[in-house]
Every structure is written in structure tokens, then in C-alpha cells.
Amino acid sequence: MFLSFPLACCLGSLVVTTATGRGFPVVDFISLDEQATTISTILEYFKEKNSRWQDVKTVVIDKDFTEWRVLQTAFPKATILLCQFHAITYWKKVMKRSVYRLNVSQQEVLLKLMVKLLYSSTKTAYEARHLVLKRYCLENKRQAIFAYFEKNWDPCRGMWSNFARGKHFTAGNTTTNRIESN
């Protein structure tokens, strides 16, 4: 939703997916911050100007917890999903944290396991791959990264893993990157 600039302002857009699958901006804005009250004000403006705002079925976001909470409040009937591209990008950043002490080889394996979890088409497949991740972390004494996954990713798996996302209307959109294609 936001791009930050060094001049301490944020440029953002609300983008809808058109019938042709392209992103189309419906609101562009500049704000001084990305705080909950600011995001909420922008969304309230959108709702005020768009009488059909209740028709919003699905919102795809990056892993921004503030944005997530505000969107859940602003669009209570909509499903909030995580951008799969940003989910993988964020997972890569997490694995590089020194606290997890992962070498390149371990990062590659964990990335492959995360991608398999992301693309799981059934809950059974997800659960089987979850066990593979757990076993790998246990055998390689990397319980800290698994604990992080259990706390921060598994509880919201319905937002990023295909098995749960498939039942929600997305017009084939799995990413927030459509804004960049305009």
C-alpha cells in the first residue's frame, strides 16, 4: 500500500483488480506516516467516496500488522490475504537474522520448505510439509526458526498458503505487485 521516501512522506494507492486481471488504482494518496489512524482515515475517505465499498471481497497485503488490523476493521466482510511474493521475501529476510545462525545451505533448504508450504493445495499436503519442516529443524538443531514459524506464520497460514486461499475470490491475484504494473 505504501512506498516510503526519505523526505518522511508515504505515497500509496488502493488498487483493484480489473476484469482483465490488471491492477487499477482507485485512490492515490500522500501521507506523513503509516500509523493506524492515518491508514484508517484514508480507508474511511475511500468508503465515503465509494458507495459499493461493502462489495470488497478480498484484500491482498504485505505482512504489515498495522495495515492488517486496520483493514480487518474497515472491511469486516472482506478476507485479508498476504501477498505470496512478499511472504517469501520476508521469510528470506528472517532467515538471515543472526539469532537463527543459519548457513547458506540451511537457508536454501528452509526456503524450499517454505515455498512447498505456500504452494500446498490441500490441508493434508500442508500438514505433511509442516512435519517435514519441523523434522528438519529438529534434526539440524534449528528449533528457534521453527518456533518463530509456529508463532508468526502457522497461525495465519490461511492468509498465505494456497490450500486456504483457494476458496476466496482473488481474480488470480496472489501479490501486491500489480500496483507496479500500472
Please give the domain boundaries of the chain with CATH numbers for all domains: 2-83+171-181 (3.30.420), 84-162 (no CATH)
Strand partners, 60: 81
Q: Residue 89: pLDDT band by 50, 70, 90 thresholds?
A: very high
Q: Give alpha helix (H) positions in 79-170.
A: 84-95, 104-118, 123-139, 143-152, 157-160, 162-165
- State pLDDT tens for residues 98-133: 999 999 999 999 999 999 999 999 999 999 999 999
* Average pLDDT of the residues in 166-181: 60
Return left, alpha or beta for 156; rule: phi > 0 is left, psi -120 to 50 is alpha, else beta: alpha
Q: Residue 180: pLDDT band by 50, 70, 90 thresholds?
A: low
Pair 120, 162: CB distance under 8 Å: yes
For residue 179, pLDDT over 60 is answered with: no
Q: How high is the pLDDT of residue 17?
A: 78
